[in-house]
Structure 1
């Protein structure tokens, strides 16, 4: 997989606003990059928690000059309905971020339900190996930690590859590195740190005798 940085305008040095593009989110990014061709000036963006969906929406609205509604399930349906209509009238894109698209998202307001039925759904999937690896290395670097290829490959074979798991893995490694006074993540450091928090799902635990 080719790792890319989402080509959206942002302040210099604002690394927290970098969004790594991979197979799991590439289709959604492609659709957002071509918002000027949308027949309906709105889109639904769904994906797992911690997948970067809110960050992607913020970067998009910053570039396109539109509006985002985050965690839409918690927002008044009337407010979303009016925002959808305004987006069409003003030709400014509306990006609605939600856990699920209808019908999994139960919308009661009939007028909003009909409009969402005509709205494209963009999905972020769970990361594949390549994207998970890139995100792991990126998050470690943000905390000034370093894991070599061997340690990353070892973890990749033994952890759940999801966005939520990634956050918990990085937290565990950060805590272990801080306690050990190290910045390099090795297999001997990672094994007990991840095992203690129940993050090793395919061997490598502290109760297994195995070679790295």
Structure 2
């Protein structure tokens, strides 16, 4: 019996190394862009796409490879406007906050003026971000960008396995196949389902498998979770 099968509430350990990132047609262009970071047009790149598709993971990979700083858009301040290579994760979160917008604008300008490279990640099209600072909006719309596509089957399967692995769970292959046949085809849903199964297993003491998945999915449709 594994430690996780004893249902201790172990911490989630998110793997964010290059080896943890599964490459498919859905994200191959973004991975190639990270590999070619020294040749980014204008030395800036925006990676955008649906939540849960690994934008933060790629930002971590790049900062390790480039020796760059990593800053959250939500925590960005004027003090972060320091020359060098830098990644701003969740850059869309600066939109609508005057102080964070000014901080990103100054960081953008100073980084490029001093010969550094800037990686931005964000949800959706930057043209739709509610940015109030016109010069920042212009910068974001003009930056080279690569879009992560919705996950294909191979990537979604790898995501589910990794999400379980982050929780120190080894799912049976039959469970992964079962989920792939029944779930909404999105990275966000994969994150939600794995968390729901882990929570249900911890609460009930039942093993994580297709029976528990059937009951969790049924409960979400209004049925009760039944004991084994």
TM over 0.5: yes
Equivalent residue number for residue 27 of structure 1: 29
1:111 deviation in Å? Answer: 2.6
Give 1:1-212 correspondences, 5 Å limit.
16-17=15-16, 18-64=20-66, 65=68, 66-75=85-94, 76-183=100-207, 185-198=208-221
Contact 1:41 / 1:87 at 8 angstroms: preserved in 2? no
Which structure features the higher share of helix residues?
2
Give 5+ residue unaligned stretches, structure 2: 1-12, 69-84, 95-99
Deviations 1:143-193 (A, max 9, x none): 23333333322221111121211111111221233345455x332221002
User: Which whole-Å CA distance do the structure 2 matches of 1:197 and 1:171 have between them?
Assistant: 14
User: Which whole-Å CA distance do the structure 1 matches of 2:181 and 2:24 have between them?
Assistant: 19
Greater alpha carbon shift after TM alignment, 174-183 vs 73-82: 174-183
User: Which whole-Å CA distance do the structure 2 matches of 1:20 and 1:61 have between them?
Assistant: 18
Contact 1:44 / 1:101 at 8 angstroms: preserved in 2? no
User: Which whole-Å CA distance do the structure 2 matches of 1:138 and 1:113 have between them?
Assistant: 35
Contact 1:191 / 1:206 at 8 angstroms: preserved in 2? no
Equivalent residue number for residue 77 of structure 2: none
Please provide the CA RMSD for this pair.
Answer: 2.4
User: Which whole-Å CA distance do the structure 2 matches of 1:181 and 1:144 have between them?
Assistant: 16
SS at match of 2:214: helix
SS at match of 1:122: strand
1:102 deviation in Å? Answer: 3.2
1:124 deviation in Å? Answer: 1.7
- Residues 190/113 of structure 1: CA separation in 2 closer, same or farther (3 Å cut): closer
Contact 1:77 / 1:112 at 8 angstroms: preserved in 2? yes
Paired residues, what number? 187
Which structure is richer in relative contact order (CA contacts within 8 A, separation 6 or more)? 2
1:40 deviation in Å? Answer: 0.8
User: Which whole-Å CA distance do the structure 2 matches of 1:118 and 1:129 have between them?
Assistant: 32
**Length-normalised TM-score, structure 1:** 0.76
**Length-normalised TM-score, structure 2:** 0.72
User: Which whole-Å CA distance do the structure 1 matches of 2:137 and 2:213 have between them?
Assistant: 48
1:15 deviation in Å? Answer: 6.2
User: Which whole-Å CA distance do the structure 2 matches of 1:192 and 1:81 have between them?
Assistant: 49
